[in-house]
Amino acid sequence: MNQNKIYSLLGLATKSRNVVSGEFATEKAVKSGKAAAVLVGTDASDNTKKMFHNMCEFYNVPIREFGTKEELGHAMGKEKRASLAVTDNGFAKSILKNLEEPINNM
Distance set, CA 60 to CA 15, 71, 98 (Å): 26, 26, 20
Whether pLDDT at 9 is above 80:
yes
The residue-averaged pLDDT of 16-45 equals: 95
Average predicted confidence (pLDDT) for the chain: 92
Q: Among 94, 88, 91, 92, which residue's Cα sits nearest to residue 63? A: 92
pTM for the model:
0.90
Whether pLDDT at 69 is above 70:
yes
Confidence of residue 58 (pLDDT cuts 50, 70, 90): very high
DSSP string, 75-86: HTTSS--SEEEE
Q: Could you name the CATH architecture of 3-100?
A: 2-Layer Sandwich (3.30)
- How many residues belong to the chain? 106
Residue 102: per-residue pLDDT: 65
DSSP string, 7-38: HHHHHHHHHTT-EEESHHHHHHHHHTT--SEE
Residue 103: per-residue pLDDT: 59
Parse the chain into domains and list their residue ranges. Answer: 3-100
